[in-house]
A and B are shown apart, each in its own frame.
Chain A
Amino acid sequence: MITGRLEFIDLGPGAWQLTTPDGGRVRLVGPIPRSLDGREVVVEGKRLDGAGVAMVGPIVEVHRIEAR
């Protein structure tokens, strides 16, 4: 489980990025409601080994996400 600030960033077609309290950045994939943009969130998910189009940091597949 990770927490941080969720943002839909303007890279390529757009991507979800989570900035953790220590400044780390994680790219989230999976269905995420646009209403959470800019909110502090809690994410449950799985770290994926691979590559993506956003290239902002480690990639986490979201299983559950909610505002804190």
Chain B
Amino acid sequence: MWTPLLLSLSALPATAAGRVVIDFTDGTTLPEARRVSGLSDLEWVHERSADESLAVATVPDPSEVVARLAEQPGIEAVEEPVRVEALGFPDDPLFDQQWNLRAIGVARGWRAGGGGGVTVAVIDTGVTRVADLEETLILDGFSFVEGEPTAEDGNGHGTHVAGTIAQSTHNGLGVAGIAPQARILPIKALSRHGFGMSPWIASAIDEAVDQGAQVINLSLGGARSDVIAVATEKAVAAGVLVIAAAGNTGQEGVSYPGALPGVLGVSAVGPKDELAPYSSWGAGVALSAPGGDKRSPGGGILQDTVDGAGSHAFKEFQGTSMATPHVAGAAAVLLSASGGDRALTQRLLLEQAVDLGEPGPDPRYGHGRLDLAAAVGALAVRRNGLLFALGAMAAAVLTGIGAGRRRGRALVIAATSALAAGGAFVLPLLPLPPSALTGLLARPLLLWPAAMLPDPYWRNPLLLSAALPFLLTFFLGPTRTLGPIAAGVSAGIATHLAFGAVTGALDVWLLPGPLGSAWLGLHAGLSALCAMAAIGVARLRDKEGAP
């Protein structure tokens, strides 16, 4: 779904001098087309272009052919191929109608990696792999609903919610989602009637935690239940972000579990950023997000969902159920980009929200309306920008100690170190089409695995260690051109590991608390030694005058 930038250019051959593209009247066969045009090596642009009779040919003088065929009967259009740039991202044709995704600044979230590696549990009516979820990573689901043994969606609610979080995006079909690289864990706790008993919901929450979900989306609500409260408390204590709907009474009083402490309750706004008339509000609303308001045409939330007998349809829904997955998707993006930093993610979601209603947090909008673009921006600049600067400084210190007067080399080492430590942190802020590559380049090197491997595997002690610096220094350190790169990467990784040891921002799997910090500190030191060794080797070579 994350078509690389280059592939998102037009399918037509670019700038090819000597080529013409000809659109014949629909239904023209290839032999007829060759006869009409007088071009014997004419071929369809693509095997699927036969229906539209769109052909391409290589000719000695394209402009002559274009002029000759322009008025020819049986030909609708003829031209030299033009390069079509990927101005529009995504290419999902109904994205235009997703005012809600534009409102939260979804594109910046895509550029920050689109939630890669993060598991979001959708505790709902189940999730069915409809056409526009074909490319979405959906894990094997569970059902706790009596009489409904699979996690297939018999209602349409859960699939719609999952679509807002991770609809297959830039796949040329339908609509987009907020965190299309995230993994959806479908857990059915609501029947096809859209109702679930409290033990089903509590068991679903427990199961989500056991399955390693980092975010739980609860687009559901009811009266307070002790078993749900206990399960939720455990999930929050386990470090899971639990996000729940505020309710649809249109009155004060947030439904449960949205009103529970530690849960982010979400109220709903319409396209004009006003509280939707159906939205509940009150204590427990942490923030608001687009939930739709169908009083204005196109004001609902459009996603792909099941439609009766095994079919699917793009449907507009409204409700705080629809607002909640906006926050869950945004949380997935921020968790992925921050390397699973839950506290930072929650802080960014709340602090960066657009303040609505009374100044400061209020019972209707909480901290304000979700602003993913601002949150990604703050993460990029404050966290990764800081690491970038620290990486450059660390390299400057190390080269000052060991590199002599080679300024060019010192600069390469500093730049590499800065990039390894903080990533090309400005990338998400630039108007570039998102791709898997920007999602990686924009983040610190140590967090690359977080975009690809599920939590907690990406933060295993081996990946958060001096292993890469050691390998680079050992193999590349002695070479003239790549030695400084090895030194820079080692210095950058040393910087990030030290940052993690001091701030607790890196949580090493299997090594909790001080043990993890000690591990990170040790490997920061080892990485710095690797950098110094690579610098030292270069310096020795300078002295010896070796080639």
Taking Cβ atoms with an 8 Å cutoff, the residues of A that contact B are: 10-13, 15, 25, 29-30, 48-59, 61
Establish whether residues B228 and A53, one from each chain, have CB atoms under 8 Å apart when the complex forms: no
Establish whether residues B255 and A49, one from each chain, have CB atoms under 8 Å apart when the complex forms: no
**In the complex, which residues of chain A have a beta carbon less than 8 angstroms from the beta carbon of B318?**
10-12
Between A and B, 14 residue pairs with Cβ closer than 8 Å are A10-B318, A11-B248, A12-B194, A12-B219, A13-B315, A29-B195, A49-B222, A50-B195, A50-B200, A51-B201, A52-B220, A53-B219, A54-B248, A59-B222
B171 interface residue (CB < 8 Å to A) = no
Establish whether residues B223 and A53, one from each chain, have CB atoms under 8 Å apart when the complex forms: no
B196 closest partner in A (C-beta):
A50
Establish whether residues A53 and B222, one from each chain, have CB atoms under 8 Å apart when the complex forms: no
Interface stretch, picked from B23-31, B319-327, B363-371, B519-527, is B319-327
A58 closest partner in B (C-beta):
B223
B245 interface residue (CB < 8 Å to A) = yes
Establish whether residues B125 and A53, one from each chain, have CB atoms under 8 Å apart when the complex forms: yes
Bound-complex Cα distance A59 to B223 (A): 9
**In the complex, which residues of chain A have a beta carbon less than 8 angstroms from the beta carbon of B193?**
29-30, 52
Q: Give the contacting residue for B248; candidates A49, A50, A56; CB below 8 A.
A: A56
Contacts A11-B319, A12-B160: A29 and B194 contacting too (C-beta < 8 A)?
A: yes
A53 closest partner in B (C-beta):
B194
Establish whether residues A49 and B225, one from each chain, have CB atoms under 8 Å apart when the complex forms: yes
Name, among A30, A51, A55, A56, the residue most crowded by chain B CB atoms within 10 Å (CB to CB). A51
Establish whether residues B198 and A55, one from each chain, have CB atoms under 8 Å apart when the complex forms: no
Establish whether residues B294 and A13, one from each chain, have CB atoms under 8 Å apart when the complex forms: no
Interface residue tally on B, bucketed by range: 35 or more
Rounded to whole Å, the gap between the CB of A36 and the closest CB of chain B is 16
Establish whether residues B222 and A51, one from each chain, have CB atoms under 8 Å apart when the complex forms: yes
Name, among B190, B198, B222, B255, the residue most crowded by chain A CB atoms within 10 Å (CB to CB). B222
Establish whether residues A51 and B157, one from each chain, have CB atoms under 8 Å apart when the complex forms: no
Bound-complex Cα distance A51 to B222 (A): 4
Bound-complex Cα distance A13 to B221 (A): 15
Residue-wise interface mask of B (344-370) relative to A, using a CB-CB cutoff of 8 A (1 in contact, 0 not): 000000000000000000000000000
B99 interface residue (CB < 8 Å to A) = no
Rounded to whole Å, the gap between the CB of A30 and the closest CB of chain B is 7
Bound-complex Cα distance A57 to B201 (A): 18
Establish whether residues B249 and A51, one from each chain, have CB atoms under 8 Å apart when the complex forms: no
B44 interface residue (CB < 8 Å to A) = no
Establish whether residues A54 and B225, one from each chain, have CB atoms under 8 Å apart when the complex forms: no
Establish whether residues B317 and A51, one from each chain, have CB atoms under 8 Å apart when the complex forms: no
Bound-complex Cα distance A59 to B194 (A): 11
B247 interface residue (CB < 8 Å to A) = yes
Establish whether residues B249 and A25, one from each chain, have CB atoms under 8 Å apart when the complex forms: yes
Contacts A25-B249, A55-B249, A55-B280: A13 and B198 contacting too (C-beta < 8 A)?
A: no
B278 interface residue (CB < 8 Å to A) = yes
**In the complex, which residues of chain B have a beta carbon less than 8 angstroms from the beta carbon of A12?**
156-157, 160, 194, 219, 317-319, 321-322
B219 closest partner in A (C-beta):
A53
Establish whether residues B197 and A13, one from each chain, have CB atoms under 8 Å apart when the complex forms: no
B288 interface residue (CB < 8 Å to A) = no
Bound-complex Cα distance A11 to B220 (A): 12
Bound-complex Cα distance A29 to B222 (A): 14
Contacts A13-B157, A55-B248: A49 and B197 contacting too (C-beta < 8 A)?
A: yes
Establish whether residues B256 and A13, one from each chain, have CB atoms under 8 Å apart when the complex forms: no
Contacts A55-B248, A55-B249, A56-B248: A50 and B321 contacting too (C-beta < 8 A)?
A: no
Identify the 7 closest CB pairs spanning chains A and B, nearest first: A51-B222, A53-B194, A55-B221, A55-B247, A52-B195, A50-B197, A13-B156
Establish whether residues A55 and B321, one from each chain, have CB atoms under 8 Å apart when the complex forms: yes
B155 interface residue (CB < 8 Å to A) = yes
Bound-complex Cα distance A50 to B227 (A): 10
**In the complex, which residues of chain A have a beta carbon less than 8 angstroms from the beta carbon of B278?**
11
Establish whether residues B198 and A51, one from each chain, have CB atoms under 8 Å apart when the complex forms: yes
Establish whether residues B222 and A50, one from each chain, have CB atoms under 8 Å apart when the complex forms: yes
Bound-complex Cα distance A10 to B222 (A): 18
Establish whether residues A55 and B255, one from each chain, have CB atoms under 8 Å apart when the complex forms: yes
Bound-complex Cα distance A61 to B320 (A): 22
Bound-complex Cα distance A54 to B201 (A): 15
**In the complex, which residues of chain A have a beta carbon less than 8 angstroms from the beta carbon of B305?**
13
**In the complex, which residues of chain A have a beta carbon less than 8 angstroms from the beta carbon of B190?**
51-53
